[in-house]
Amino acid sequence: MSERIPFNKPYLTGKEAHYIYQAVYSGKISGNGQFTQRCQRFFEERYGFGKCLLTTSCTDALEMAALLADIQPGDEVIAPTYTFVSTVNAFVLRGARIVFADSQEQHPNLDPELVEPLIGPRTKALVAVHYAGVACDMERLAALAQKHGLFLIEDAAQAIDSFHDGRPLGSFGHMAAFSFHETKNIISGEGGMLVVNDESLRRRAEIIWEKGTNRAEFYRGEVNKYGWKDLGSSFLPSDTIAAFLFAQLENLDDIQRRRREIWDAYQRSLEPLERRGWLELPRLPGYATNNAHMFYLVCRDLAQRDRFLDFMRESRVVAVFHYLSLHESDYYRDKHDGRPLPRAARFNDCLVRLPLFYELAQAQQERVCALVHRFFEAENA
């Protein structure tokens, strides 16, 4: 029987355990230690981000963003429906109503054209998710946010080291949230980061991060005692997590290089099938770079997608579909305003992701590609 090819395999650079050992024996293993600060500085220097704060997850970073945007019960937040739960759950926790927006025709990202009519007097924030690390149309979304006085928040969970017209994703919003979950390009098991670009939010961000106290200022010697200043929670990870992450960041260029190589090989191999009109491959707008977070294809319909998944499973390759529109989820169905969102529905039904991880060997990838060819040739025979 042929070897099973998983969908993902977390990649270790080799230095993770070494740095964790250092963190453990440094005598400070709680949050905001040496490795935390090294990681935060890495992002601030490499991408010119505003203040960076490591968090225990992207989910937590988004919860911080909702607190910083001062979301109140009854406020409205516009977000795509084709996304992960955490994109909107953070705002629902503060009492917001989510006004879901549809995708672009050819890409799961928000369509700015469809966003503007959703903006009303109660709208407080707009959340842009860069699906597969491909930039949303940030120029138009930023213009909308500015015109209507909204917070622009980037869910950049998948968008590390990706750009819009040369400017890094995560630098456009008032705030941006990244993920280092083991399924992302750069990992720490669970982990995330909040980027606070808006100067006026930075001090409060640090307080919210430290349980609502100004402990960070106290440790820097800026105040002689610290106390309760605001709402907050324990959003900061142990320094051992940051130590793991730092080993990954040191290898970021190599990780990205290998992922792009794999992505390009998929594109080259499967392009002829797209030219015959048998499937759709990812379409990148001219302003967006590719950080090779994900390689997906779009089938003709749900039945074909299910046949494809069965065929791959029987061939011992793990391919997986992705999001189910949040406006149709068990939790939100009754709260949604009833507008159909048909473009997202097509991605719900037809999108499939192929294995993509650093250690995917060339021979393994060739096997995946041969299977995709065999399936679509049989479908179109």
Question: Where do we find the tokens 């980061």?
Answer: 193
Q: Does 157 bind ligand PLP (CB under 6 A)?
A: yes
Task: Report the residue number, 8 or 37, with the smaller CB distance to ligand PLP.
Answer: 8
CA distance linking residue 36 with residue 153, whole number of Å: 23
3-class DSSP assignment, residue 37: helix
Q: How far apart are CA 207 and CA 230, in angstroms?
A: 7
For the CB of residue 339, give the shortest distance to ligand PLP in the complex, in Å: 22
With tokens 């709208």, the residue in question is 123
Choose, by CB under 6 A, the member of 57, 81, 214, 304 that binds ligand PLP. Answer: 57
How open is the CA angle 7-40-240, to the nearest 5 degrees?
65
Instruction: Identify the residue among 111, 155, 206, 239 touching ligand PLP (CB under 6 A).
Output: 155
Q: Which two tokens stand for residue 117?
A: 């009519």
Q: How many residues does the chain have?
A: 381
The CA-based angle 210-213-219, given to 5 degrees, is: 75
Residue span binding ligand PLP (CB under 6 A) among the ranges 96-104, 154-162, 327-335, 361-369:
154-162
Binding mask 2-41 for ligand PLP (x = CB under 6 A): ----------------------------------------
- Of residues 109, 158, 256, 304, which one binds ligand PLP by CB under 6 A? 158
Which residues on adjacent β-strands are paired with residue 163? Answer: 168
Stretch that binds ligand PLP, among 84-92, 93-101, 239-247, 300-308 (CB under 6 A): 84-92
Tell me phi and psi for residue 259, to 5 degrees: -65, -40
**CB nearer ligand PLP, residue 158 or residue 240:** 158
CA contacts within 13 A on the Cβ side of 289:
15
Tokens matching residue 314 = 């029987």
Figure out which of the listed residues 40, 59, 213, 304 binds ligand PLP, where binding follows CB under 6 A: 59
Residues 101, 127, 129, 326: which binds ligand PLP (CB under 6 A)? Answer: 129
Does 87 interact with ligand PLP (rule: CB under 6 A)?
A: yes
CB 13, min distance to ligand PLP, A: 19
CA pair distance 243, 23, nearest whole angstrom: 6
Interface stretch with ligand PLP, choices 89-97, 101-109, 150-158, 294-302 (CB under 6 A)? 150-158
Least CB distance from residue 156 to ligand PLP, whole Å? 8
How many CB atoms lie under 10 A from the CB of residue 267?
14
Nearest distance from C-beta of residue 180 to ligand PLP, angstroms: 7
- What does the block give as tokens for 285? 């707008």
DSSP letter assigned to residue 116: G
Angstrom distances, CA of residue 156 to CA of 112, 306, 373 = 17, 29, 32
Residues 167-196, mask of contacts with ligand PLP (x by CB under 6 A) = ------------x-x----------x----
Phi/psi at 204 (5° precision): -65, -35
For residues 250 to 289, the per-residue mask of contacts with ligand PLP, x marking binding by CB under 6 A and - elsewhere, is ----------------------------------------
Q: How far is the CB of 133 from ligand PLP (least distance, A)?
A: 9
Q: How many residues bind ligand PLP (CB under 6 A)?
A: 14
In whole angstroms, how close is the CB of 230 to ligand PLP at the nearest point? 23
Judged on CB neighbours under 10 Å (0-12, 13-18, 19+), 210 is buried
Provide, rounded to whole angstroms, the least separation between the CB of residue 181 and ligand PLP: 4
List residues near ligand PLP by CB under 6 A.
57-59, 83-84, 86-87, 129, 155, 157-158, 179, 181, 192
